[in-house]
Amino acid sequence: MQVSKILPFLLLLSAAITFNSCKSDTKEKDTETVDLGRPADEAILHLDAEPDRLLPMLTTNNYSRTVFNGIFSYLLTSDPSTVELVPQLAKARPEVKELTEGPYAGGMSYTFEIREEAVWDNGSPVTAEDFIFTLKAVFNPKVPAPAYRVYLSFIDDIQVDPDNPRRFTVLTSKKYIIGEEAISAALPVLPAYHYDSDGLLKDIPIKTLANAKEAEQLAEEDDRLQQFADQFNSQKFSREPEGIVGSGAYRLVSWETGQRLILERKENWWGDKVENGGIGVMAHPTKLIFRPISDSNSAITTLKNGTMDVMANIQPKQFMELQETEFVADEYNFYSPPSLVNTFVYLNTRIPALQDKKVRQALAYAINANEIIETAFYGLAERTVTPVHPSFTYYNKDLETISYQPEKARALLAEAGWEDSNNNGILDKEIEGQLVELSLKYNYTAGRSLAETTALLIQESTKAAGFDIQPVPQEFTVTQEALQRRDFELVGGAKLIQSTPWEPKQDFHSDGDDRTGFASPETDALIDRIQITIDEKERNELYKELQAVIYDEMPLVYIMVPQSRIIIHKRFGTEVTPIFPGYVPQLLQLNEK
């Protein structure tokens, strides 16, 4: 994988003060209280925002994933240090074959076998039927899971070994650049007995649901799909402890909205019985207590009074100041590994003021990205202008880094017909018979000083070009819902950069999320080509071509790739990772005394 080639170098450059690797033994740790007023192997973890739900296929929320990764298990998961896929539920990575004959000639087959030790909480084995059920739930057109259907739409059928219910083969009629990753790691496996207790999907062939047209037709004719969706979409399976069941090491015992989510380690978790299972089946803390606190000052207060063990995504200024705070530095280790996160501004190209790409390009030249990096992020970031990480080999280096040029921005706006006709400092233009000022609302997450500082810097720097940017603080969930409805003008955003080969369909294809309205028949065709181009050299050229189109159309203004900023109590050793949030909660391990 691309990232695994750059990580050793990047990690050497990171500003981690201390690095302790997890150990492979799972012996019981000393849980005596260490002046904490609670067991030492319980970890209290900060979240910037509240998860929206804990049903994997119904959310793309990173905070939800951080929590539910301890509850559910995947066929394969990512090694935190190398970002390579490693076994979790599966015994090993799949046997992959190219199909040269039969109904799926030209496609691929991926054969997996689930570990014998893997069982659900009721003691029944995890089998291929559970994996098939998970995909049926995603492919059910009545279930609101379009983001995952995009990734998994290349699957045509699944065949179970008649002699081994844990062994199965996924069949595809076409090649896909991230086939193994999408099948094994996009979603965890859910228990069919629990999430479909009435067996509504049991007799519907996966082959039928995997075909989008056949699935849509079936949904019109067979009310079982709607019945399942109604049950599946209920609060029970998204928020209630008795409804959230997985094969992971932890179970949700309580969720107090706005306060905490508590996960307890299962006493007889099957992963403890796997010999030499590797990092994929490690889980150390007896309890994971997630505290969603959006206000950074309040979160820092909990850290200082000893009631927070781990904080990630700390405001850069606070991260620097805390290292100079003696009693904090004595109790905590500080890490700043590279991150696979991109920060940017969403532009809604569907609204009249932003339909002309010259206006969008002008906004990019009017935002002083370097000032944001130095002032808001204290230099802990790297400039970027595309969705691809600047260190990747297929990052398009031919694209000029956009510098702050308000004069050029004004010239582009003039070409697009914008002028200051009433001399109020804000450009305007007549659109559909009405005078429209270049005044745009910029939504950002309330309670985050870094987001607010960034918003204010953007507001100030863009004035020189004639923009009137109005920062609007919103709750994180409100902003996410508005993005899904396409009800926004500008939104400050951040997104994980894939550690696999870049798969742009979800973000930029008309069949994907396409929040900005960027997609066109031409770019759809280009993305479709990328998806099936296995040759790396050829695919890299297509990647660069797509980046050039995104750069020209400017549906998003890319700003930077920040470094992670993590603080972890010294009693825990762990591996930091470029994968959000920069550490793996279940891998926190008490240090030897």
Using CA atoms, how far apart are residues 74 and 70, in angstroms rounded to an integer? 11
CA distance 251 to 246: 8
How does residue 3 score in pLDDT terms, banded at 50, 70 and 90? very low
CA contacts within 13 A on the Cβ side of 165: 7
pLDDT in tens, 200-255: 999 999 999 999 999 999 999 999 999 999 999 999 999 999 999 999 999 999 99
What is the C-alpha radius of gyration for the chain, rounded to an integer number of angstroms?
Answer: 25
* Whether the predicted pLDDT of 586 surpasses 60: yes
Domains of the chain: 2-48+249-338+564-590 (3.40.190.10), 71-227 (3.90.76.10), 341-562 (3.10.105.10)
Which band of pLDDT confidence, cut at 50, 70 and 90, is reported for residue 262? very high
| pLDDT tens digits for range 130-182 | 999 999 999 999 999 998 998 899 999 999 999 999 999 999 999 999 999 99
Residue 19: pLDDT band by 50, 70, 90 thresholds? Answer: very low
Amino acid 185: pLDDT: 95
% of residues, the chain, pLDDT over 70: 94
Question: Quick one: which of 545, 278, 385, 393 has its CA closest to 1?
Answer: 393
**Measured distance CA(464)–CA(547) in Å, rounded:** 28
Taking CA atoms, 423 is separated from 1, 187, 352, 406, 427, in Å, by 55, 54, 22, 18, 8
- pLDDT of residue 302 exceeding 60, the answer is yes
CA distance 288 to 284: 10
- pLDDT, one tens digit per residue, over 371-392 is 999 999 999 999 999 999 998 9
Encode 270-291 in three state secondary structure.
HHHHCCCCCHHHCCCCCEEEEE
Q: Residue 35 has what pLDDT?
A: 60
- Give the span between the Cα atoms of 299 and 4, in whole angstroms: 33
Q: Give dist(CA 301, CA 402) in Å, integer.
A: 38
The amino acid sitting at 532 is I
Helices marked H in 385-485 — which ranges? 406-415, 449-463, 476-485
> pLDDT at residue 14 above 70?
no
Mean pLDDT of 489-496: 94
Say what the pTM is: 0.79
What pLDDT score does 81 carry? 87
pLDDT in tens, 406-454: 999 999 999 999 999 999 999 999 998 999 999 999 999 998 888 999 9
Alpha-carbon gap, residue 292 to 540, rounded angstroms = 40
With 80 as the cut, is the pLDDT of residue 8 above it? no
pLDDT at 131: 98
Mean pLDDT of the chain: 92
Query: What per-residue confidence (pLDDT) applies to 1?
Result: 42
Who has greater pLDDT, 13 or 297? 297
- How much is the average pLDDT of 508-517? 94
